[in-house]
Amino acid sequence: MKLNDVSFGFQKNRPIVQHISAKIVPGTILSIVGPNGAGKTTLLKLMADQLKPTTGQIEIAGQAISKMGRKQFASKVAVVSQQNHLYDDMKVIDVVKMGRLAKHHLLATITDDEVMPFMEMTRIAQLAQREMSQLSGGQRQRVWVASAIAQQPQYLFLDEPTTYLDIRYQAELMAIIRQLHRTGKMTIVMILHDINQAFRISDRLWLIQSGRLLKDGRPKSFYDEQLLSNVFQTKIHIVDIPNYGRYIVELPAGS
């Protein structure tokens, strides 16, 4: 995927994404990080063709995503968005099957067996017959991931996927993402607020500030206290933790 000078604003003269040019190398895990309101979700929506750039273009293998048909795009990109309750009255297995619709014309032709591997991978097989409204936030999140991977896309986009998860399920989700990346050869693009998690799992990071791509590089090049303190407008310190590695901590003012 390639972004060519992409800009976007919801209103005239109020740019939210500004002149972003970048490439996503197939097979990478890319995390998008940056302060609240920087434009990360808007950028992901542009890349997911849910919003159209005001100027510039996004392409996959030389083809503009705006010119792709719905089904063609769905075979390339699946999105796990921030949570919604639109499907609360549906059964878990049917939500997963909806992801599989990218490969079928009708929900009715998708068998339980066809979606079971995706449910097993995300450990929701035992929830198959439950209604979405009966699930915890963490369980729902895993259903959305199962539905997205059932699409078997080349690119999997996740917007703050760990938000509803406790520490164990966060680690589990990161393990699933590594597995998808390793065995499914999927390219993963995530917005992550936990900067340490982002640094640990990613091959590549994009740091967004005020709608601009401030830095695009390997995680180790972001261990820069001055850079991070300036962007997040708080005092950031990088420490070494035995058996873990480098860890970014926010220091209280005055310390």
Nearer to ligand ATP, 35 or 138 (CB): 35
Instruction: Please tell me whether residue 36 binds ligand ATP under the rule CB under 6 A.
Output: yes
Query: 29 near 203, Cβ under 8 Å?
Result: yes
Q: How many CB atoms lie within 10 A of CB 68?
A: 17
Nearest CB to ligand ATP, comparing residues 37 and 217: 37
Nearer to ligand ATP, 57 or 81 (CB): 81
Q: Which two tokens stand for residue 152?
A: 């078997």
DSSP secondary structure string for all residues of 59-118: EETTEEGGGS-HHHHHTTEEEE-S---TTTTSBHHHHHHHHHGGG-S-GGG--HHHHHHH
Q: How far is the CB of 227 from ligand ATP (least distance, A)?
A: 17
Q: How far apart are CA 217 and CA 182, in angstroms?
A: 21
Query: Which of 3, 93 has the CB closer to ligand ATP?
Result: 3
When the beta carbons of 41 and 202 are compared against ligand ATP, the nearer one is 41
Candidate segments 36-44, 111-119, 143-151, 162-170, binder of ligand ATP by CB under 6 A? 36-44
Min separation Cβ 89 and ligand ATP, Å: 26
In the complex, what is the shortest distance from the CB of residue 91 to ligand ATP, in angstroms, rounded to a whole number?
30
Residue count of the chain, please give it: 255
Q: Nearer Cβ to ligand ATP, position 43 or 148?
A: 43
The DSSP H or E segment spanning 142 is helix 137-149
Please report the sign of the dihedral spanned by the C-alpha atoms of residue 201, residue 183, residue 141, residue 149.
Answer: positive
Interaction mask 4-33, ligand ATP, x per CB under 6 A: ------x-----x-----------------
Based on the shown chain and the rule CB under 6 A, indicate whether residue 37 belongs to the binding site for ligand ATP. yes
**101, exposed or middle or buried, with CB in 10 Å at 0-12, 13-18, 19+?**
middle
234 belongs to the binding site for ligand ATP (CB under 6 A): no
- Residues 38-67 touching ligand ATP, rule: CB under 6 A, are 38-42
Give the residue with the Cβ less far from ligand ATP, 35 or 184. Answer: 35
Smallest gap from Cβ 90 to ligand ATP, in A, equals: 26
As a whole number of angstroms, the distance between CA 184 and CA 238 comes to 34
Smallest gap from Cβ 40 to ligand ATP, in A, equals 4
Determine whether 89 is exposed, middle or buried from the number of CB atoms within 10 Å of its CB (0-12, 13-18, 19+).
Answer: exposed
With H, G, I as helix, E, B as strand and everything else as coil, classify residue 203: coil
Which region, judged by CB under 6 A, interacts with ligand ATP, from 19-27, 34-42, 90-98, 238-246? 34-42
| Spatial distance between the Cα atoms of 108 and 222, rounded to a whole number of angstroms | 48
Rounded to a whole number of angstroms, the minimum distance from the CB of residue 79 to ligand ATP is 14
Q: Which residues lie near ligand ATP (CB under 6 A)?
A: 10, 16, 34, 36-42
